[in-house]
Amino acid sequence: MTFDRRNREGGSGVGRAMDRHAAAVAGLTLASLLALTACTGAGSTPSATPGGGTQPPGATPSVEAITHPTGADDLVLRVEIGGGLVPPGRILSELPVVSIYGDGRVITQGPMIEIYPGPALPNLRVSRISEAGLQEVLAAAADAGLLGNDAHYDYPGIADAPTTIFTVNAGGTTSRVSAYALGIGEDPSMIPPEEAAARADLADFESKLGDLAGWLGADVASADQPYDFTAIRIYSQRATPVGREPEASPRFAEWPLATPLATFGEPFRAGAEPTMRCGVVRGDDLATLRPALQAADQLTYWQSGGETWSLILRPLLPDETGCPAG
C-alpha cells in the first residue's frame, strides 16, 4: 500500500523534526526514565511504562525508548482519511488507512479488484512489525510532531476535501493531529511557513507508513495477508431496487440469520428520524453470515421478512466495538 504524495525538500524540516523528537524524549518523566533504566538487567521481564503499558519481552531497554501499550487490541497509532464530498453511506463504511497495535500488528486497506460492482467486503490486510520497527515508527511520529501534541492544520481555498487524522497513543499520552486537504493543498504561500512545514512533515510520515516493508526492511516488517475480522458492524435500511444497465443489475440474497433485519440491532438516527438500523454480528452468527457477505457485491439487496433491504458493511478492528452515535 502506498500513498500518492509529492516528494518535498526538507533540509530545515529535518532540524525541526530532530528538535521535536528530542523534546518528546525529554518530556518523559523522571519516574519513566528510572523505570526504563531499571529494566536493562531484567532479561525478558517486561518493564512498567507510563500510561499502564509495558515494554514487551525482547525489546532493547533504553532511556530513549518510547513507551506504548502492548496489548493485542491496544491501539498505538492510526491514520484516517475522512470527510469531504462523499455520499453518507461512504462515511459509514470508511476504514482507517492504517492501524498499529501494541503487539505489532498492522492492519491496512489493500487494493480492491477493479470491477464494477466490486465486492461487498473491503480488502483488509494484516502484517506485523517487531518492537524495533514499532520504535522506529514512533520516533518518526515524534519527528512529525505527533507525540504529546493536539493540533489541526487548515488550508484555505479548497472546498469539500477530506481531512487526514493522526492518532498516537505513546509516551503516556494520546495525541490527535489533523490536516485538511493534506497532499492536495500544498502551496506554501497560502499558509504560514510553520504550518506549511508541519503539513510537509505529516505528509512525509504518512508516505512512510504506506510502505512499511520498504521503509523498515523485511527483518522487522512481515509480508501482509488477509485480515480475518471477528466482528462486523451492519447498517440496514429498507430499499427499493433501482433499475440499472443489464451488466450491472442488482443482485438479491437471502438474509441468513434468525433475527430478521426489521428487528436487527437498534435504530440508528441519521437525522431527525431513525432511517436505518445498526447492529454488530460476531461469533456463530458471523460464521453463518460470512459466506453470504463474501458472495455479495456492492449492488446486492437482501431479502428478509418479505421486505427488501440494503446493507452498509463495516468490519470492526480490534479496538472497536458496537455502533456509533447517530
User: Which residues does residue 54 pair with via DSSP β-bridges, in sequence order?
Assistant: 48
Q: Which of 225, 248, 272 is the last residue of a domain?
A: 225
Which carries the bigger pLDDT value, residue 8 or residue 200? Answer: 200
Any idea which of 28-37, 69-78, 294-303, 316-325 has the lowest mean pLDDT? 28-37
- Average pLDDT of the residues of the chain: 82
Q: Is 1 within the bounds of a domain?
A: no
Which carries the bigger pLDDT value, residue 257 or residue 54? Answer: 257
pLDDT of residue 246: 57
> Is 249 found in the same domain as 129?
no
Q: Do 128 and 222 contact (CB within 8 A), yes or no?
A: yes
pLDDT of residue 68: 98
For residue 293, pLDDT over 90 is answered with yes
Q: ∠ CA(223), CA(225), CA(230), 5° rounding?
A: 140
> Is 158 found in the same domain as 24?
yes
Q: Which of 203, 225, 247 is the last residue of a domain?
A: 225
Q: Is 121 within the bounds of a domain?
A: yes
Q: Is 75 within the bounds of a domain?
A: yes
User: What are the pLDDT digits (tens) for 117-166?
Assistant: 899 999 999 999 999 999 999 999 999 999 998 999 999 989 999 999 99
For residue 52, pLDDT over 50 is answered with no
pLDDT of residue 17: 36
For residue 28, pLDDT over 50 is answered with no
pLDDT of residue 318: 98
- From residue 287, alpha-carbon distances to 110, 229, 253, 290 in Å are 23, 11, 17, 5
pLDDT of residue 33: 31
Which carries the bigger pLDDT value, residue 56 or residue 251? Answer: 251
pLDDT of residue 87: 78
> Is 206 found in the same domain as 92?
yes
> Is 203 found in the same domain as 282?
no
Q: Enter the pTM of the model.
A: 0.79
Q: How many angstroms separate the CA atoms of 265 and 249, rounded?
A: 29
| Residue span of the structural domain in which 98 resides | 11-225
> Is 131 found in the same domain as 243?
no
pLDDT of residue 112: 80
> Is 119 found in the same domain as 92?
yes
For residue 242, pLDDT over 80 is answered with no
Q: Is 136 within the bounds of a domain?
A: yes
User: What are the pLDDT digits (tens) for 90-130?
Assistant: 889 999 999 999 999 999 999 887 788 899 999 999 999 99
pLDDT of residue 39: 36
Query: Any idea which residue has 428487528 for its cell?
Result: 263
- Residue percentage of the chain with pLDDT more than 70: 77
- Residue percentage of the chain with pLDDT more than 90: 62
**Phi and psi at residue 200, to the nearest 5°:** -65, -40
User: What are the pLDDT digits (tens) for 261-273?
Assistant: 999 999 987 555 5
User: What are the pLDDT digits (tens) for 297-318?
Assistant: 999 999 999 999 999 999 999 9
> Is 92 found in the same domain as 16?
yes
Q: Is 77 within the bounds of a domain?
A: yes
Q: How many angstroms separate the CA atoms of 37 and 277, rounded?
A: 52
> Is 279 found in the same domain as 138?
no
Q: Is 258 within the bounds of a domain?
A: yes
> Is 290 found in the same domain as 160?
no
Q: Which of 205, 225, 245 is the last residue of a domain?
A: 225
165-178: average pLDDT: 97
**Sign (positive or negative) of CA dihedral 138, 142, 147, 153:** negative
**Phi and psi at residue 263, to the nearest 5°:** -120, 5
For residue 4, pLDDT over 90 is answered with no
Domain count, the chain: 2
> Is 90 found in the same domain as 158?
yes
Q: How many angstroms separate the CA atoms of 197 and 17, rounded?
A: 10
Q: Do 199 and 179 contact (CB within 8 A), yes or no?
A: yes
Q: Is 321 within the bounds of a domain?
A: no
> Is 263 found in the same domain as 243?
yes
Q: Is 326 within the bounds of a domain?
A: no
> Is 210 found in the same domain as 91?
yes
Name the residue type at position 181. Answer: A
